Amino acid sequence: MKNILVITTLLFCLSCQGKTQQPADTIPEQDTVISETVQKIIPQLPDTQFVSVNNYEYEIKILDTVHSGEIDTLTSFLDQVDGFLTFRGNGLRNADFSGTVSGTPDTVVIEWTFSTDMDNTDTKYGRWGGGTGWTGQPLYINWQDSMVEKFKNSHSAQLTADFSNKEIMFGSLASKVYFLNFETGKKSREPIDVNNPIKGTISLDPLMNGKLYVGQGVPARLPYGQITLDLFQHTVKNTKMAEESAWRGWHASDSSPIRVGQFIFRPSENGTIYKYWVQDTVEILHSQMKYRKKGFGGPGMESSMAVYRNYGYVADNHGNIVCINLNNLKPVWIYNNHDDSDATPVIEETDSAVYVYSGCEMDRQGAQGKSHFVKLNALTGENVWDYSEDAKKFQTGGKHFDGGYYATALLGKGNCDSLIFVDYVANDDGQNGYFYAFNKKDGTLKYKTKLKCYSWSSPVGFLNETGEMFVLTGDTKGYVYLFDGKTGKILFSRLIGINFESSPVVVGNCAIIGSRGNKIYKLRVGN
């Protein structure tokens, strides 16, 4: 029987003491590609706090005293799986999708289209319909044969005749999670109704335990919050809903959960980061942390947490970029990036240093202001460079649309390894935007290419046989673009969907992306 003790801590002090990792409850070997033999010994980063934390208050609650909070292994399980099981593919959120093309591609072809249901429930926040919203990236998994057999032997899995090894999964604004055959685009399982629209990116546990983590994005029906699906039983298994003690009253959860060691980390828009101990069929809320700048309310987190070793990085809607020690949930450093930051931080590890990139919107500043795209030292929070420019809101129909960065950045590779790419909402000529390429070393803008409309979708990359990089992105008018990464030249542009708020997942020379409305597309890049 599990004993639960609640420990509340309110801290403002600095600590410079390092820690030595002690093994906690280890994760048993499962029927998957992951085993103890592939886990690497990766050194822990120190339990340190920098002076930037002094302007903030935070509260940590430990609810599970049976299991140690120390992470038992820093090996990335996501890197051991044939697939992309969370937003931007891995813990670094650096979108290493390994897309491949031949020669210089100049076309994008629709291979299949899938239509979701429509949820036309009237809510105080409007009708959400179907398809996918922001960030809405599909997942891709190439199941091992043994896992295929496990699902087939489960009488509750609700597989269809099109179920096979290669499967696409995504959460929809239609309040359902869908499962598709990657090759055909037909349903591989029956959808699971989760009762509320999903805007963010779902996350599949890489330990192949059948757990699929889902955040509900809109309270069309109460309650709403964080849920876990059991794919073997084809049902909602665990829930974490609204709580009165949160420092922010909006309990949506667009962030894509991430596994580190024996824990799942789930930032929430109620200003709380949740840490779950997960083993086999058991899922226990181990601890949670909430923070805020002194004198302010709690900030919500729509961005997904990036992870480097035992440090986690998340941005919030007050403009903070926060580095957290995942062993004890203490903040290591906090950087103020001026305004609402919903895009997910991206980590880059080089031979000499580790960096984090992140951009903010122009939201809390009024009708106009500045947006910032920054590069920080990931271990200290020190600013390396800051690219800022004027930004403004666009007013239409009684609504406003904020300028700035909603997309998560893409690190350049091959002949573009000195660059980082991101989509930018300008609003300087109606609801327009640009595709940007920055020099990673000094933050200078190498080029910007104008889009038909602004874009919230995160760009993805493809390399050809000689290492030339090409970048694909979509905009909110429904256009899809293919760029030469080195020059920014548009190689292909076509109106395909209604509104591509969502980010794609890349498999080989294909990208799977959802749109508002109710359409999901598999696009092939090149002939």
Q: Which residues 6+ apart lie within 8 Å of 148 measured at CB?
A: 163, 164, 165
Confidence class for position 515, pLDDT limits 50, 70, 90: very high
What residue type is assigned to position 230 of the chain? D
Token pair of 500, please? 């591509």
Please give the pLDDT value at position 431.
Answer: 84
Burial letters for 245-263: b for 16+ Cβ neighbours within 10 Å, e otherwise? ebbbeebbbbbbbbbbbbb
Return the bridge partners of 419, or none. Answer: 439
pLDDT 10s digits, 171-197: 999 999 999 999 999 999 999 999 999
Tell the burial category of 184 from Cβ atoms under 10 Å away from its Cβ (0-12, 13-18, 19+).
middle
Q: Which range has the worst mean pLDDT, 40-44, 301-305, 455-459? A: 40-44
CATH number belonging to domain 7-525? 2.130.10.10
* Nearest partner of 116 among 459, 498, 479, judged by Cα: 498
Peptide bond just before 331 cis, omega within 30 deg = no
| Annotated domain spans of the chain | 7-525
Token pair of 220, please? 């069309």
Averaged pLDDT of the chain: 91
> What is the rounded distance in angstroms from the CA atom of residue 363 to the CA atom of residue 380?
27
Three-state secondary structure along 329-389?
A: CCEEEEEECCCCCCCCCEEEECCCCEEEEEECEECCCCCEEEEEEEEEECCCCCEEEEEEE
- Are 459 and 413 a contacting pair, CB within 8 Å? no
pLDDT 10s digits, 456-475: 999 999 999 999 999 999 99
pLDDT at 145 over 90: yes
Peptide bond just before 135 cis, omega within 30 deg = yes
- Are 300 and 248 a contacting pair, CB within 8 Å? yes
pLDDT 10s digits, 326-350: 999 999 999 999 999 999 999 999 9
